[in-house]
Chain A
Amino acid sequence: MSDILQTWAALTFNGISFGMILFLISSGLTVTLGVMRLVNLAHCGFAMIGGYFAMAAVDYLGFGLLASLPVAIVGTMIVAAVIERTLFRWVYGVTELSQILMTIGLAFVMVALCNIIFGPLLHALPIPGWLTGNLDVAGVVVSTYRCFLIVVAGLIAIGIWYVVEGTDFGARLRASVDNPRMARCAGINVRRIFSFTFTVGCGLAAVGGVLGSQMLPIEPFYALNYLILVLIVVATGGLGSLKGSFTAALIIGVIDTWGRYILPSGGGFVMYAIVLVVLLARPQGLFARA
């Protein structure tokens, strides 16, 4: 295969894997925004917390990457559940701007605490031996780990899709997103669905944080650095639409990767311009539901 084609194929591949990670992290926020109209700017912080849990498991318990994953998920979900039951009681029912300020405050707290506990250095979680190296996929040479990422994230995405579209819980969730008031009238406990979904969403973010540490290194400012990216995915995909954020995440992942290759210092410009255009054309996002 010619060099140029190889480069572009590899770039696209990398973009897709990056997009998958973005999707995993953003999926929780999409549902949060969709169901409770809650703007949670601390969401990236949960991905970060997941990464730190995994790091602790690796450093102090000697776990490998895959073994540390459940530790990260459970740990993050516990933290999320606690925060949801306490702090977020204050966040419900205030204006959007106030929610933004409060959750930014939470993000600041997360950043500061992580720095105090873990220090300011960047960390990438170690990849197990059998996932290092490269693979030859249809004539294109790509990193094994990124293949793994795409497969795992893809499976999770399918799992999410199945739960949302195919189960009873999913039906109730979709009803809550489409019309929370009507859903409540129909006897659906929207509050409980939200609490549960929020916690799971943070767990998913943790998965993204752990698996994506090669691309998005774990460090205290993680919670703020990638926030804009996640917000863009959610806003352009459409609030409350998992299909939307999946599509948007992939597109943005690919555009960002290509952009940085073509214009190393200006790649972001193209991405923001496209976001601008999309939001102007469809202010509710690509696949908005409500």
Chain B
Amino acid sequence: MTTIPSDRPIAASLRGAFTAHRLNWMDVGIWVVAIGAYFVVPTYLSLGTTVLIMILFTLSLDLAVGYGGIDTLGQGAFFGVGGYASAYWALNVTGEPISGLVVGAVAAAILGIITGPIILRARGLTLIMLTLAITSMLEEFAVTAKSITGGDDGLTGYHILPVLGLFRFDIYFRTAYFYALIVLAIAFVIARIVVNSPFGLTVRGIRENPVRMRLLGVPIRTRLIGLYTLSGAMAGVAGALSAQVTGLIGTDTLTFLVSGNALISLILGGFGRLYGAFLGAALFYIFSDRAAAIDPFHWLLGLGILLILAVRFMPNGLIGLTEQFQLFRDRRGGRGLDRSGP
């Protein structure tokens, strides 16, 4: 094969053919909103912190489902394991929060490495069933093994020390909010790096066509296990955060409801777009907090109808809608370039 000398114009547009999350107004916008919320609605910081934590959780799920095509209803298992591990750490070793996050991540990652090779042999409905079975097993274990997990009452009574020795957790959730925000920001940066990397493209390829991927010589199960473990570790951090800021961890974190809520958030926001997690989770958890308090069953009715309509009309979520709108505008403006994401 002859090497053609590097031709600047061709190379530039060719590089552009590799889709990636480029910095755009959303990057700035999200963080402006998040930081702004701290000042604009200071009485709602408890809800705000929960939203931030669930965004992190939903982001972790997006990595697995949206990018890797790993259909899982068991993400709650990582959340719970991370939470319990960090609560245990706080109770028995130290209330230092950052080490608690690391412990949560590591515990969840261990779960991922153990269960990943076993269940990732399957796909589709079987895989979903397996993830459900694992989560249910862990839930039953948590309820039964009272001495370790506190059973139905969960673990509580631990005291979290100030972050970096400086920022004390207060009852207004001021420290908690920023603590969660910074953790989320770091996780987002990591997610973005991974998604833009060759590994990120590989797992998208596996999602699109696993058979073909194998014929390219790629060990797809190993790659998926890696993604699954990373996604699990992130969910574990979310669980640890939750345990730390609320001072309590219970068996309700291990239900498939937790995973289901995140999945619904992604449907609303859009899979495989990172920002979808932000948009969807924020909408979902704010609404469910407000609406469910008013009338849980009407909320459930609305949610059910919303789910049906969303899957039918917005399979790419709200982000997908905005992209289609942008595409429409571009085509009308004669630009014709496809700038939509993965």
Seen from chain A, the residues whose Cβ lies within 8 Å of a Cβ on chain B are 33, 39, 87, 90, 94, 96-98, 100-102, 104-113, 115-116, 220, 228, 231-232, 235, 239, 263, 265-266, 268-269, 272-273, 275-276, 279-280, 283-284
Tell me the nearest residue of chain A to B264, going by C-beta: A101
* Selected A-B contacts with CB under 8 Å, 18 pairs: A33-B125, A90-B311, A96-B71, A97-B71, A101-B263, A102-B308, A108-B307, A112-B298, A112-B300, A115-B297, A116-B298, A228-B256, A235-B125, A265-B140, A266-B144, A269-B144, A272-B140, A280-B130
CB pair B133–A265 under 8 Å, yes or no, is no
Taking A228-B136, A275-B129 as known contacts, 14 extra A-B pairs with beta carbons closer than 8 A to each other, sorted by chain A number, are A90-B311, A90-B312, A96-B124, A100-B128, A102-B307, A102-B311, A104-B260, A107-B304, A108-B307, A266-B143, A268-B140, A269-B140, A272-B140, A276-B137
Q: How far is the CA of A33 from the CA of B311 in the complex (A)?
A: 20
Q: How far is the CA of A273 from the CA of B137 in the complex (A)?
A: 7
Determine whether B303 belongs to the interface, using a CB cutoff of 8 Å to chain A. Answer: yes
Q: How far is the CA of A228 from the CA of B134 in the complex (A)?
A: 12
- Tell me the dominant secondary structure on chain B's binding face: helix
- In this complex, the member of B133, B137, B260 whose beta carbon has the largest number of chain A beta carbons within 10 angstroms is B133
Tell me the nearest residue of chain A to B300, going by C-beta: A112
B contact residues, total (Cβ < 8 Å): 41
Q: How far is the CA of A96 from the CA of B308 in the complex (A)?
A: 14
Output the least CB separation between B206 and chain A (Å).
16
CB pair B130–A101 under 8 Å, yes or no, is no
Tell me the nearest residue of chain A to B307, going by C-beta: A105
Q: Mark B67-105, 1 if CB is under 8 A from A, else 0.
A: 000010000000000000000000000000000000000
CB within 8 Å for A265 and B301 given contacts A102-B307, A231-B129 = no
CB within 8 Å for A116 and B297 given contacts A101-B307, A105-B311 = yes
CB pair A108–B304 under 8 Å, yes or no, is yes
CB pair A235–B126 under 8 Å, yes or no, is yes
CB pair B130–A94 under 8 Å, yes or no, is no
CB pair B263–A269 under 8 Å, yes or no, is no
Q: How far is the CA of A190 from the CA of B304 in the complex (A)?
A: 29
B130: which A residues are within 8 A, CB to CB? 276, 279-280
CB pair A283–B136 under 8 Å, yes or no, is no
Output the least CB separation between A240 and chain B (Å).
12
Determine whether B132 belongs to the interface, using a CB cutoff of 8 Å to chain A. Answer: yes
CB within 8 Å for A235 and B129 given contacts A98-B311, A109-B301, A109-B305 = yes
Determine whether B118 belongs to the interface, using a CB cutoff of 8 Å to chain A. Answer: yes
Q: How far is the CA of A110 from the CA of B301 in the complex (A)?
A: 8
Q: How far is the CA of A37 from the CA of B308 in the complex (A)?
A: 19
